[in-house]
Chains A and B, each alone.
Chain A
């Protein structure tokens, strides 16, 4: 199988220090910045993570590669796992963009040295500070040459990334033959804000992916970047039929305002966008196949565990046993393989 959303972590900010340049190295080493934190308390048994994912060494969940191997890579015959991190410099928002850019670069170097170099099954995400798109493009050019960097990760905060302000990022990603992934941050909001409760906010999270998709469509990202593929992570998928129908209906009415969009939004999405299945909503096999039928393509969904987060999906238990075997193979392996361009020969070796 292929797992498209695995959150690796550093043990502490000190892990980034060797990869930072001055003046940031000294400031971080001196403890002048404490890192990101979430603006709420977690109610999961293990906080925001699986309660069994804390390494014996005492580091944070996701920071120990041997535990990642034991709990994901070896546990499920993972051929490829895409690292997505959870340290997103976009969370500095509009302040100190130079620092945000430096953090992204340091994290990428950390990711290569501590993770990609340690296990050939891992592929990486190029992290950027999208609030400075020119610097982000430079970072994409710098990291894009690494053979196991497969995508640029855009962290969802409160920004709609279809805006032309961000297009240097897409230009660089297309130039470097990378995919573009989106993943929410702890700053992401629903349409009416964060909500009052953590559970409420967790229910609201997919709205940001819906808004992102709509932003990509209406701003012409799919039309203007014909070689770019996009993957929406950790937003589930059962909402997609509604959004496709809604976008097509609005397009029929108001196409004149966005004449650069050359085909139905749903056609763009089916061709160019993949959705990670996690978190599955415990649908029955009939509900799964019905939703996929409504999406109109068996190629859109790709499997993700979201390890080590508490809403982890088991590759063996989150898909209903009665889901047709060929469809299951597409979701667990083939769709992601084709999307990322991994070699086809592994297909026969991994059919579980």
Chain B
């Protein structure tokens, strides 16, 4: 399934597609990698396509912020739950997880692989 033209999904960009009634969010990280997760928050069902791509924020000690993996963390637009778009894992609540999908790029298009 075609998601969009490659130039419609720049680094840090995000697109939502509907596949058989299932919303799927496709993102391109700041480094350029493509990832895809189910577009409904596992917490209260918000539309993750309205969320924001951020960094992974870690810390070695209180008061210190370490940012990495720019554009690989998707935060829900409602309560801010963080999802790792690579694994689908919810960072702040390991009991939650999003389904991930295989996404590829060819001939100038971003495509979702068939399930």
Chain A positions near chain B (C-beta within 8 angstroms): 164, 219-220, 223-224, 251-256, 259-260
Contact = CB atoms under 8 A, between A and B. Distances in A.
A164 B57 contact: no
Interface residues of B, number: 21
Contact of B58 (A224, A253, A259): A259
Contact of A252 (B54, B65, B92): B92
B92 A219 contact: no
A251 B94 CA distance: 12
A260 B62 contact: yes
Interface stretch (B10-18, B30-38, B75-83, B98-106): B75-83
A253 B92 CA distance: 7
Contacts of A223: 62
B55 to A, nearest CB: 9
A253 B62 contact: no
Given A252-B92, A255-B92, A259-B57, A164 B82 contact: no
Interface in B55-74: 57-66
A73 B2 CA distance: 78
A22 to B, nearest CB: 40
A255 B91 contact: yes
Contacts of B61: 220, 224, 260
For the complex of A and B, the 5 pairs showing the least CB-CB separation, nearest first, are A220-B62, A259-B59, A260-B59, A255-B92, A260-B62
A175 to B, nearest CB: 18
13 contacts: A164-B63, A219-B62, A220-B62, A220-B63, A252-B81, A252-B90, A252-B92, A253-B81, A254-B80, A255-B91, A256-B54, A256-B82, A259-B59
Contacts of B66: 259
B79 A253 contact: yes
B113 interface: no
B82 A255 contact: yes
B8 interface: no
B109 to A, nearest CB: 33
Contacts of B43: 252
A243 B74 CA distance: 27
Interface of B: 43, 54, 57-66, 75, 79-82, 90-93
Contacts of B54: 256
A130 B1 CA distance: 64
B92 A251 contact: yes
A251 B66 CA distance: 18
Contacts of B60: 260
A164 B62 CA distance: 9
A75 B57 CA distance: 55
Nearest to A257: B57
Contacts of B79: 252-253
Contacts of B82: 255-256
Nearest to B76: A253
A260 B63 contact: yes
A260 B91 contact: no
A251 B57 CA distance: 14
Given A164-B62, A252-B92, A260-B60, 10 more contacts: A164-B63, A220-B61, A220-B63, A224-B62, A252-B43, A253-B79, A253-B81, A253-B92, A255-B82, A260-B64
B76 to A, nearest CB: 9
Most buried by B among A164, A223, A259, A260: A259
B71 to A, nearest CB: 15
A254 B59 CA distance: 14
Contacts of B92: 251-253, 255
A224 B60 CA distance: 10
A116 B31 CA distance: 64
A191 to B, nearest CB: 24
Nearest to A248: B93
A265 to B, nearest CB: 11
Contacts of A260: 59-64
Contacts of A255: 82, 91-92
Contacts of B62: 164, 219-220, 223-224, 260
